[in-house]
Amino acid sequence: MTPFALDLNDDQKAVRDWIHGFAADVMRPAAAEWDEREEFPWPVVQEAAKIGLYSLDFYAQQFFDPTGLGIPMTLEELFWGDAGLGLAIAGTGLAAVGVLTNGTDEQIGTWIPQMYGDAREVKVAAFCSSEPDAGSDVSAMRTRAVYDQAKDEWVLNGTKTWATNGGIANVHVVVAVVEPGLGARGHASFIIPPGTPGLSQGQKFKKHGIRASHTAEVVLEDVRVPGHCLLGGKEKLDERLARAREGTGGRGGNAAMATFEASRPAVGAQAVGIARAAYEVALDYARTRVQFGRPIIDNQGIAFQLADMRTRIDAARLLVWRASWMATTGKRFTAAEGSMSKLFAGETAKSVTAQAMQILGGNGYTREYPVERMHRDAAIYTIFEGTSEIQRLVIARSVSGMQIR
Ligand SMILES: Cc1cc2nc3c(=O)[nH]c(=O)nc-3n(C[C@H](O)[C@H](O)[C@H](O)COP(=O)(O)OP(=O)(O)OC[C@H]3O[C@@H](n4cnc5c(N)ncnc54)[C@H](O)[C@@H]3O)c2cc1C
């Protein structure tokens, strides 16, 4: 049996240092520019692809790291570099996880490589679940997928919103209603292959933070995809729907939820990276900024804030690592440990970046210093992939066994 350990092994440390180098040398110098441009940073993703940091091989290696720490370690370093650029690099991962959790081996082998492309021609992917009237309430989804048996094709109609990489993706993974009346258990996920007619980008959102990441509506008008684009296959879907109709289906019936459950600790790791970055800037600043004849860190009011910031960041990382370790080693979440990690890390990123701005005083409020951007970036971490309120709902239901509303 492997002894209990909380430190990274030598291989992991080498990978972490390599990512850190990219984050420090390539991402940080480019971060402010792409934030201002508010455009998808293809050249940065291309740079990451050139060194193998944006590649299916690299993510597969980290995803299957037996300790479970490969993905959180990778994401923490990337988002320490910059969250907008980090999400441009990591956003494809959500769609990839959508296929990994719901797809057959053949679908995994066919579609995930097309999500990343290669170093000569990088591609990205999008996971489209949210809709204008179905955000936290996934069961209110309206996008419909209807099976055309004669042609063995699915026909999709509807509007998705808030899709990271929506419209610029090579491969879109779309969650749709296949049987109305069953709520979220009547949903299924579909691959929309590159160039499929009927899929178009709606409005691109202008955002508060993570502005280098592309977020847009995705409109589906009579989008026809072959039967093999239904993730998991028709037989499995029919069995699942039959169980749901009889009221015997388990929680595995919800396609979007399966993806979110698997990705929550990873999102928590991103938040830890942002918080750590802001904390480091604040610590440096507090040591060097002199007021009243001494560095401001000499005041307990400042030093204690830094102590609290660091404590919260370390606690958040431990929750993220625990959830990732549990997921990878097959331990069942019994108290929504994935949601706990995302909730605490998201709230930590938001509060730590706000404290960092305060410690930098006027400078913290300007774009001359990065904490202003980090604070804007951190704000999304209590909203996407399930808001903080929804994480609390999931945890409360899990620990109480009650249908808390
Ligand atoms: C930048 C960005 C990127 C995103 N990327 C993706 C993506 O790639 N794919 C995707 O599918 N989606 C994506 N999303 C969507 C995101 O997951 C949703 O915004 C989120 O789930 C919240 O949904 P909503 O915005 O409709 O808010 P609402 O659900 O309308 O919530 C509004 C407020 O009400 C609260 N609330 C709602 N229900 C309850 C309740 N029962 N109890 C207590 N409080 C409640 C919420 O917590 C929130 O504070 C993205 C969003 C953003 C902003």
Enter the DSSP assignment of 151: G
The Cα diameter of the chain in Å comes to 82
Q: Is the CB of 102 under 6 A from ligand 1?
A: no
Q: Give the nearest ligand 1 atom to 134 CA.
A: 26
Probe ligand 1: pick from 187, 387, 397, max atoms within 8 Å of CB?
387
Residue 138 C-alpha to ligand 1 middle, in angstroms?
A: 10
- The predicted-structure confidence for 242-266, as pLDDT tens digits, reads as follows 999 998 755 444 666 666 666 899 9
Residue 260 C-alpha to ligand 1 middle, in angstroms?
A: 12
Q: Whose CA is nearest to atom 25 of ligand 1?
A: 135
Q: Are 353 and 374 in contact (CB under 8 A)?
A: yes
Residue 131 bears catalytic tag: no
Distance CA 99, CA 259 (A): 8
Q: Is the CB of 130 under 6 A from ligand 1?
A: yes
Short-list 306, 377, 311, CA closest to 346 = 377
The pLDDT of residue 255: 61
Q: Is the CB of 128 under 6 A from ligand 1?
A: yes
Q: CB under 8 Å to 370, separation ≥6 — which residues? A: 28, 31, 32, 277, 278, 281
Q: Whose CA is nearest to atom 45 of ligand 1?
A: 389
Taking each helix axis from N to C terminus, what angle separates 255-288 and 300-328, rounded to the nearest 10 degrees?
150
Residue 135 C-alpha to ligand 1 middle, in angstroms?
A: 5
Distance CA 6, CA 77 (A): 17
Residue 88 C-alpha to ligand 1 middle, in angstroms?
A: 20
Question: In CATH, which of 3.30.1370.30, 3.30.2320.50, 1.20.140.10, 1.20.210.10 is domain 255-400?
Answer: 1.20.140.10
Q: Give the nearest ligand 1 atom to 205 CA.
A: 1
Q: Whose CA is nearest to atom 50 of ligand 1?
A: 162
Q: How far is CA 210 from CA 193, 314, 360, in A?
A: 27, 23, 21
Instruction: Give, for all 405 residues of the chain, the pLDDT tens digit.
Output: 667 788 899 999 999 999 999 999 999 999 999 999 999 999 999 999 999 999 999 999 999 999 999 999 999 999 999 999 999 999 999 999 999 989 999 999 999 999 999 999 999 999 999 999 999 999 999 999 999 999 999 999 999 999 999 999 999 999 999 999 999 999 999 999 999 999 999 999 999 999 999 999 999 999 999 999 999 999 999 999 999 999 875 544 466 666 666 689 999 999 999 999 999 999 999 999 999 999 999 999 999 999 999 999 999 999 999 999 999 988 989 999 999 999 999 999 999 999 999 999 999 999 999 999 999 999 999 999 999 999 999 999 999 999 998
Q: Give the nearest ligand 1 atom to 128 CA.
A: 11
Probe ligand 1: pick from 94, 133, 142, 162, max atoms within 8 Å of CB?
162
- The predicted-structure confidence for 143-192, as pLDDT tens digits, reads as follows 999 999 999 999 999 999 999 999 999 999 999 999 999 999 999 999 99
The pLDDT of residue 247: 83
Q: Are 321 and 6 in contact (CB under 8 A)?
A: yes
Domain 10-116 architecture: Orthogonal Bundle (1.10)
The pLDDT of residue 253: 47
Q: Per CATH, which fold does 125-252 belong to? A: Butyryl-CoA Dehydrogenase, subunit A; domain 2 (2.40.110)
Distance CA 70, CA 62 (A): 4
Domain ranges of the chain: 10-116, 125-252, 255-400
Residue 346 C-alpha to ligand 1 middle, in angstroms?
A: 14
Q: CB under 8 Å to 377, separation ≥6 — which residues? A: 82, 83, 84, 209, 210, 274, 353
Q: Whose CA is nearest to atom 48 of ligand 1?
A: 387
| Two tokens, residue 26 | 């390539």
